[in-house]
Structure 1
Amino acid sequence: MSRDPLVVGHVVGDIVDPFVTTASLRVFFNSKEMTNGSELKPSQVLNQPRIYIEGRDMRTLYTLVMVDPDAPSPSNPTKREYLHWLVTDIPETTDARFGNEIVPYESPRPTAGIHRFVFILFRQSVRQTTYAPGWRQNFNTRDFSELYSLGSPVAALFFNCQRIHRFVFILFRQSVRQTTYAPGWRQNFNTRDFSELSSLGSPVAALFFNCQRENGCGGRRGRIRAALNSEYLQQYFVTQPITPMVWAFKMLGVLKLYGLDSYARIYVPLPTHHGLRLGPDHFQKFLF
């Protein structure tokens, strides 16, 4: 079985046919060089990357294509391939800034699942006029290469990118029983302001898990709702005295029942001396 990342990542097959790498392509996001199969966050790829093509002959020109074969979602890629960037006439030894930008760079904004973002480099035989496609979705790298007689790719790189949301449970210890009113809306809630308004002080424990956005959460979102509404969880908190450590591990147990424990992290306070106020540095991290 091939260990080539382009084969393992199905770049070869989904986007291009098998080819032999004959050029050195380097891609940098914010001065950090990416490698095949890198995991990058959407915030890391907001700005146009720097593209370097190593060589010695500036008369040799290249065409660079950047596509997303997983749009709008890997399970239903109806927009495959989505064109993020197209630059032609890039001289060897330079970067993409010296080329002719046909389609401006559009930063990746995956909405569901893990998306592959692929840079494909072609060596041009001549300088030629290349026209921008009418739209970005349903671009086809193979057809584009054939239309402009570019032949097989000479290099390719790809990275994975997904949007992750954090869901956080925060536990406060009340000094007294008091009336708490529901906010008028769910969005723009501020935990710090709520704690101050209700005189709750600092949290005594917290737990969070990660979840992909929209279709990436899919059934997991339903399991989250079931976990929060579970009779076991409600009965336990109503009938049992609880410490922060016990609360955190009970929460983890509930998440485990619903298959969510692999996404969870627990934070509980460490013992402090002289009654010092707890801050982020006083929390011990438990990984599961």
Structure 2
Amino acid sequence: MMLMTYISSLALAGAALAQTPTGFLPAVNNTLDVYYGTTYITPGLLVKKSSVSKQPTIGLTGQTLTGKYLLAMIDIDAPSGSSRSTVLHALLTDFTPSGATQNGTTVLTTKATGPASYFGPAPPAETPKHPHNYIFLLHKQPDNFAVPTSQKNVVSSRIGINWVSFVKDAGLSEPIAANYLQVQSGDNTRRW
């Protein structure tokens, strides 16, 4: 009986640490701090789509940051016929520590607008309504980073990106932090 309680406790602790939705790979346990204005996004927060139309402020808490970072934002619930696919909402490079903080978060900034500029969540109306998961992934950016030839079409079209394949093809290390939010399809009511 104690063994079952211990295993259940471990499973719950693992679920509580996850900063990506269940089943998404790569799974990440470190939180990427994401702010839309002054609103902090806790992992899985359901928000109003108009509140996330502009690029967020991102950063990390309790870590020494050096070098450059790459940010991806992916909708993993885009309708594609009778199934779901992915849409790349942002792939931005050259994030560096700004020297500023927001509520204890070391803020990262970039002047880059690509390889894929930010566009905010706007899931289409569906019946029944379906909340979309938008995942933010932060990677250490390798020197001389470029979108691999094998990934240029999917980054350009933004449709159907497989992040595990992208990471492998681009020679990226595992994400150092992640977060995600939800926007309900066709719903623009206030959720925070």
**2: CA distance between counterparts of 1:97 and 1:42?**
23
Contact 1:61 1:127 in 2 (8 A): no
- Which residue in 1 is equivalent to 2:26? 17
The structure carrying a bigger strand percent of its residues is: 2
Normalised by the size of structure 1, how large is the TM-score? 0.48
Identify if the C-alpha distance between structure 1 residues 56 and 69 changes in structure 2 by more than 3 Å, giving closer, same or farther: same
- Which residue in 2 is equivalent to 1:123? 140
- Which residue in 1 is equivalent to 2:173? 151
Max Rg structure: 1
**2: CA distance between counterparts of 1:135 and 1:9?**
24
Q: Deviations over 1:170-215 (max 9, x none)?
A: xxxxxxxxxxxxxxxxxxxxxxxxxxxxxxxxxxxxxxxxxxxxxx
Contact 1:90 1:100 in 2 (8 A): no
Matched, 1:4 2:16: yes
- Which residue in 2 is equivalent to 1:97? 110
Which stretch of the first structure deviates more once superposed, 25-34 or 131-140? 131-140
- Which residue in 2 is equivalent to 1:164? 187
Contact 2:89 2:120 in 1 (8 A): yes
Unpaired runs of at least 5, structure 2: 1-10, 98-105
State the Cα distance separating 1:4 from its structure 2 match. Answer: 2.8
Q: Output aligned runs, 1:1-288, within 5 Å.
A: 1-2=11-12, 3-4=15-16, 6=18, 9-10=21-22, 13-14=23-24, 16-19=25-28, 21=30, 25-54=32-61, 55-58=63-66, 60-72=67-79, 76-77=83-84, 80-92=85-97, 94-99=107-112, 101-111=114-124, 112=126, 113-130=130-147, 133-162=155-184, 163-164=186-187
Total equivalences in the alignment: 158
Unpaired runs of at least 5, structure 1: 167-288
**2: CA distance between counterparts of 1:8 and 1:151?**
17
**1: CA distance between counterparts of 2:20 and 2:139?**
21
> Root-mean-square deviation (CA), in Å?
2.8
Identify if the C-alpha distance between structure 1 residues 5 and 135 changes in structure 2 by more than 3 Å, giving closer, same or farther: farther
Structure 1 counterpart of 2:39, one-letter code: K
Q: Percent same amino acid at aligned positions? A: 26
Contact 1:65 1:121 in 2 (8 A): yes
Bigger relative contact order, structure 1 or 2, given CA contacts below 8 A and separation 6+? Answer: 2
**2: CA distance between counterparts of 1:99 and 1:8?**
25
Identify if the C-alpha distance between structure 1 residues 114 and 97 changes in structure 2 by more than 3 Å, giving closer, same or farther: same
The structure carrying a bigger helix percent of its residues is: 1
- Which residue in 2 is equivalent to 1:280? none
